A and B are shown apart, each in its own frame.
Chain A
């Protein structure tokens, strides 16, 4: 048994711009030294499909959470640090169960399907505004609808506060371990906290109650003693933050693949079930998340001893491109129908709570976008966001032929 700290592992320059732009050559070089694990500046990177599946599901030996990032920025005593360490994605066991159960009913596949008409309305309204332009940055366009959808789920008017989008923009840059990100995400944090706090106070003062509005479900959970005041606000924020970069980046990455496949894109306009197929392959080919875990109890896996305290990040995008799990992994093939199901939504107790909502809004989004933005083409080279946190395009400039419907 080799201690993982002593093992001869390759280094992945996962924090660099070159890696973010094209991780594949780096991953290929790393795989020649070890097939599923590498090092990076803050710990280990698991990038093999099987290991990702096994270890992400291991809720016994791993603790989720962002303590490494909080410690890196020295923000343990800041409210942002508390949020990062105490919110839904960061806690385990009974507390996690309690927090998750307070919102579970709003995230079932049934509920996701029930809100599809509302999603279509929001997306159509955005397209009415944006489609006549004939060209725009698709990444910027895509940033609008996850916010509108989540506010709709909360039961809050979609035009409530345009500044929260700015607040959201830099939140997950905190996971890049880049000191330059700190003032940006902290400024955004203040906006988001204020937004969340005001939302609760104003709703409670209004006397309104809509059993379908998630905000009221959460306020009710607080009244029943299932959530305290801070947990309620953290829960609102985690729903907004977790649904933002993830959905918009996934949408833009999928769009990029479709621009190169005009036939598939045209079919998306006609056939929403096909949009689901495209999405499955996009989630396999270009997953955007890098979940963090810390070893909380020493264990052995595949010949390695993992010691308590070891920081592990899971590169789900690379797991989807693991040649041991997928044939021609770099090729985008919607008809692939793989035996190995993608790991984009994770595994285990922390599997993405919003996966059904995310799928529904991305399917509806692709379907309507393909109807309204005909013949999309790239007008400039896209630029990339950091790989850690939520990977994806910073900009995706496109031109297209607007269509009324």
Chain B
């Protein structure tokens, strides 16, 4: 699977060999994507893997659930309608080609 991050420093990074089943946060952290920190290891409690999903991918990715939405309050000053936490996006074949922008820290 191919996933593209626009890193927090503005530089694009495309990962060609992403695997279904892993999360966007783990993928970003493993590949040293700038701005993807994942402090809580994927527990949806720290909001340090905040991304903006490209509009054309929003439907495929889906909205945050209640807990993710409440955790996104941590970064309310940089929140957008297409905000998601990377740790809650599990990669699946339909997301091949996904493009996200890493949000600045809140």
Contacts and interface: CB of A to CB of B under 8 A. Distances in A.
Interface of A: 57, 59, 100, 104-105, 107-111, 113, 341, 347-349, 351, 353, 355-356
B39 A105 contact: no
Interface stretch (B13-21, B53-61, B63-71): B63-71
B71 A100 contact: no
A188 to B, nearest CB: 29
Given A57-B41, A347-B40, A351-B39, A108 B67 contact: yes
Interface stretch (B4-12, B42-50, B96-104): B42-50
B74 interface: yes
Given A104-B67, A105-B66, A351-B46, A110 B73 contact: yes
Nearest to A356: B74
A108 B44 CA distance: 9
Nearest to B76: A109
B73 to A, nearest CB: 4
Given A105-B67, A108-B67, A349 B43 contact: yes
Contacts of A113: 73
Please name the 3 residue pairs, one residue from A and one from B, whose CB atoms are nearest each other, closest first. Answer: A108-B70, A110-B70, A351-B40
Given A104-B44, A105-B67, A341-B39, 17 more contacts: A57-B39, A104-B43, A104-B45, A108-B73, A109-B47, A109-B70, A109-B73, A110-B69, A111-B70, A347-B41, A349-B40, A349-B43, A351-B40, A351-B46, A355-B45, A355-B46, A356-B74
Interface residues of B, number: 16
Nearest to A350: B41
A345 to B, nearest CB: 8
Interface in B84-105: none
Contacts of B45: 104, 107-108, 351, 353, 355-356
Contacts of B41: 57, 59, 347-349, 351
Contacts, number: 50
A353 B66 CA distance: 17
Nearest to A97: B43
A105 B70 contact: yes
B70 A100 contact: no
Contacts of A348: 39-41
A29 B74 CA distance: 39
Contacts of B44: 104
Contacts of A353: 45
A57 B42 CA distance: 11
Contacts of A104: 43-45, 67
A330 B44 CA distance: 33
13 contacts: A104-B44, A105-B67, A105-B70, A107-B45, A108-B70, A110-B73, A113-B73, A341-B39, A347-B40, A348-B40, A349-B41, A349-B42, A351-B41
Nearest to B47: A109
B21 to A, nearest CB: 16
A59 B43 CA distance: 12
B39 A347 contact: yes
Contacts of B69: 110
Nearest to B45: A351
B89 to A, nearest CB: 17
A116 to B, nearest CB: 12
Contact of A100 (B43, B47, B74): B43
B17 to A, nearest CB: 21
A351 B41 CA distance: 8
Most A Cβ at <10 Å: residue of B42, B44, B66, B70: B70
A108 B71 CA distance: 5
Nearest to B37: A341
B36 to A, nearest CB: 13
Contacts of A347: 39-41
A57 B45 CA distance: 14
